[in-house]
């Protein structure tokens, strides 16, 4: 194809040379025809060349497609060969599967036979399963019952083990208390001798003082404090603040909130009556708990044991622990500087009237009689008000003791309600004339004060946080007891003198009226002064028939029968007076009262001398 253009060019060149010759020869027409033919041939040639190019392109495409088809044919050939092989394999496999299928058909028939047998066995097994399920249910119920019984017995065993541990601990604790060696504390022993021997004999010999139980409790409190101060000198200059209130009001939790976080001691706390033993608590560098045995001597108490010494622990002993362990002393770290304070954690003043807690009120009274100040705790989780029994108790036992009110558990209510309760309590106390330093709304859990009225809790504690000579306070308590006796005796003396004067006047009036005959008048004249000695002076006025005698005497117009009746009545009066005079024992009550006054003064002086001696 590449020579064709060249060939046309050569033909054109040859035609041009030939046309020169042919024109010379006169053959121009032939030259033109030939030129035209050459041009057409050239045009056809160009067209043919183009068509040839197209045909050549198609040919090349066809060659490419041919090659591709050859490749595909080769691939199909290979696939065909592979398929033939697969076909052969499948054919062989089909034959094998046909054999297997035949075998499976035979096996299926066998399975069908076996299935029928299995169906029958399944029915039997289903019935057996139901029976087994019923047995299982019964066993499960039995197992559950046994499990519950096991758990109950495990709990009982656990409780018995715990009870045994508590019993063992209690036994060791009681053994330590009962075997504690008596501390040689001369001051306390001398005071105890005066209290139990002299004072108790004195108290049993008189029956004129109607508040003798309070006096005994007050002197018992003095005796306990003498023992405490003799054993622990650190208490001698402390101001005693009693933490008091109803049971479960939060007294122990309030005190525990004062403890430093490093302190290992925790007071018994709970929703039931907890505090069983009055506890004296002071600030110290380390935690020390000491129990005071009733017979003398002390015993160390671990913080773990002390935390359990609530009413449940005491009730588990079967008797009142206070009979052998009347009080406990505790030293521990404080969060604030309260070096001059000694707190008393007291039982609730209003315990149930049965069981071990029945004596809590007595223990609380004894503790309050030692107090220089009182924090009265009211729980806000109850009605949040000061109860009528609280008011009666404050009025009866704390008439002159500085008083602060703490509303504990104040975090349980919104602050607005706390403020209302605080104002209501303040108004109640003001109305009843009960003086108080301040009212504090406090949270023992959060260890902070939420609100206060008049004075905060910290301000109240700082007011009391000053040294106090306990010796002077004890002497004042002893003096107060015997002043009460003296006042009662002097009042009785004046009362009896007044009654004697009345009797004398009545006898003179009867004498002037001539009620008695000469024998009676003579007897009255001799024994007039003896009326001061009769235990029945108060009963002279209601002498039988005396009013009738006077009436008959004044009635001058009474008949003979009335005069005879009057004579009989006069004889009866004379016999009554004679009998009463004969009942006298020869010692006048006035002399007895004067002797009791002397005895009381002697015991008071002896107790004061013991307290004034060198500690």
**Per-residue exposure over 65-93, b if at least 16 CB sit within 10 Å of its own CB, e if not:** eeeeeeeeeeeeeeeeeeeeeeeeeeeee
| Alpha carbon separation from 135 to 123, 149, 513 (Å, rounded) | 18, 20, 111
CB contact at 8 A, 185 and 227: yes
Within a 10 A sphere around the Cβ of 278, how many other Cβ atoms?
22
- How far apart (Å, rounded) are the C-alpha atoms in residues 2 and 12? 17
Span 518-553, pLDDT tens digits = 444 444 444 444 434 434 334 444 444 444 544 444
Mean pLDDT of the chain: 77
Helices 388-397 and 415-432, packing angle to 10 deg: 50
Phi, psi torsion values for 237, nearest 5 degrees: -115, 30
- % pLDDT > 90, the chain: 10
CB contact at 8 A, 268 and 262: no
Residue 525: alpha-carbon gap to chain centroid: 75
Residue 14: alpha-carbon gap to chain centroid: 137
Span 335-389, pLDDT tens digits = 778 888 999 888 877 655 545 555 567 777 777 877 889 999 998 866 667 888 8
Alpha helices in 469-583 (DSSP H): 470-513, 518-527, 546-554, 560-582
Span 433-459, pLDDT tens digits = 899 999 999 998 898 999 999 999 999
At 279, the pLDDT band (50, 70, 90 cuts) reads confident
- How far apart (Å, rounded) are the C-alpha atoms in residues 251 and 347? 9
Q: What is the DSSP letter of 29?
A: H
Span 66-83, pLDDT tens digits = 888 888 888 888 888 888
- How far apart (Å, rounded) are the C-alpha atoms in residues 366 and 383? 28
Please tell me the predicted confidence (pLDDT) of residue 576: 56
Phi-psi region of 72 (alpha: psi -120 to 50; beta: other; left: phi over 0): alpha
Q: Which SS3 state, helix, strand or coil, does residue 334 take?
A: strand
- How far apart (Å, rounded) are the C-alpha atoms in residues 120 and 109? 17
């Amino acid at each position: 194809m590449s020579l064709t253009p060249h060939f046309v060019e050569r033909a054109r060149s040859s035609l041009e040379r030939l046309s020169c010759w042919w024109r010379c020869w006169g053959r121009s027409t032939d030259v033109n025809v030939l030129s035209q033919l050459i041009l057409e041939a050239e045009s056809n040639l160009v067209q043919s060349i183009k068509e040839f190019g197209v045909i050549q392109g198609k040919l090349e495409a066809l060659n490419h497609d041919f090659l591709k088809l050859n490749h595909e044919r080769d691939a199909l050939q290979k696939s065909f060969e592979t398929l033939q092989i697969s076909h052969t394999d499948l054919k062989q496999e089909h034959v094998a599967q046909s054999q297997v299928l035949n075998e499976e058909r035979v096996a299926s028939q066998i399975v069908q036979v076996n299935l029928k047998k299995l169906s029958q066995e399944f029915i039997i097994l289903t019935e057996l399963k139901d029976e087994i399920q019923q047995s299982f249910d019964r066993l499960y119920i039995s197992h559950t019952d046994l499990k519950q019984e096991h758990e109950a017995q495990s709990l009982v065993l656990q409780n018995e083990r715990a009870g045994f541990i508590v019993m063992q601990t209690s036994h060791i604790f009681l053994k330590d208390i009962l075997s504690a060696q008596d501390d040689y504390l001369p001051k306390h022993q001398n005071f105890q001798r005066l209290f139990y021997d002299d004072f108790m004999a004195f108290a049993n010999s008189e029956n004129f003082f109607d508040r003798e139980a309070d006096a005994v409790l007050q002197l018992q409190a003095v005796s306990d404090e003498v023992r405490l101060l003799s054993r622990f000198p650190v208490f001698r200059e402390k101001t005693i603040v009693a933490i008091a209130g109803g049971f479960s009001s939060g007294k122990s939790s309030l005190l525990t909130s004062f403890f430093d976080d490093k302190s290992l001691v925790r007071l018994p706390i709970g929703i039931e009556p907890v505090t069983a033993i009055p506890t004296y608590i002071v600030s110290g560098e380390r935690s020390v708990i000491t129990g005071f045995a009733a017979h003398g001597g002390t015993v160390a108490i671990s913080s773990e044991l002390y935390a359990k010494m609530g009413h449940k622990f005491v009730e588990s002993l079967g008797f009142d622990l206070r009979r052998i362990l009347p009080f406990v002393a505790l030293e521990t770290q404080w969060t604030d500087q309260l070096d001059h304070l000694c707190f008393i954690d007291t039982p609730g003043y209003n315990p149930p009237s049965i069981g071990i807690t029945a004596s809590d009120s007595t223990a609380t009274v004894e503790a309050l009689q030692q107090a220089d100040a009182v924090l009265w705790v009211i729980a806000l989780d109850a009605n949040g008000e000061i109860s009528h029994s609280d008011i009666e108790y404050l009025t009866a036992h704390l008439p002159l003791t500085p008083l602060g009110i703490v509303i504990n558990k104040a975090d349980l209510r919104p602050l607005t309600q706390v403020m209302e309760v605080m104002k209501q309590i303040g108004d109640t106390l003001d109305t009843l004339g009960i003086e108080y330093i301040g009212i504090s709304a406090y949270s023992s859990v959060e260890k902070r004060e939420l609100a206060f009225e008049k004075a905060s809790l910290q301000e109240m504690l700082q007011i009391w946080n000053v040294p106090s000579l306990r010796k002077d306070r004890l002497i004042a308590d002893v003096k107060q007891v015997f002043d009460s006796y003296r006042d009662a005796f002097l009042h009785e003396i004046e009362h009896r003198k007044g009654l004697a004067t009345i009797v004398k006047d009545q006898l003179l009036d009867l004498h002037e009226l001539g009620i008695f005959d000469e024998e009676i008048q003579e007897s009255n004249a001799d024994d007039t002064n003896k009326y001061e000695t009769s235990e029945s002076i108060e009963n002279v006025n209601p002498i039988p028939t005396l009013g009738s005698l006077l009436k008959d005497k004044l009635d001058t117009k009474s008949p003979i029968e009335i005069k005879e009746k009057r004579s009989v009545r006069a004889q009866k009066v004379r016999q009554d007076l004679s009998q009463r005079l004969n009942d006298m024992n020869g010692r006048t009550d006035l002399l007895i009262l004067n002797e009791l006054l002397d005895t009381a003064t002697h015991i008071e002086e002896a107790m004061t001398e013991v307290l004034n001696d060198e500690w």
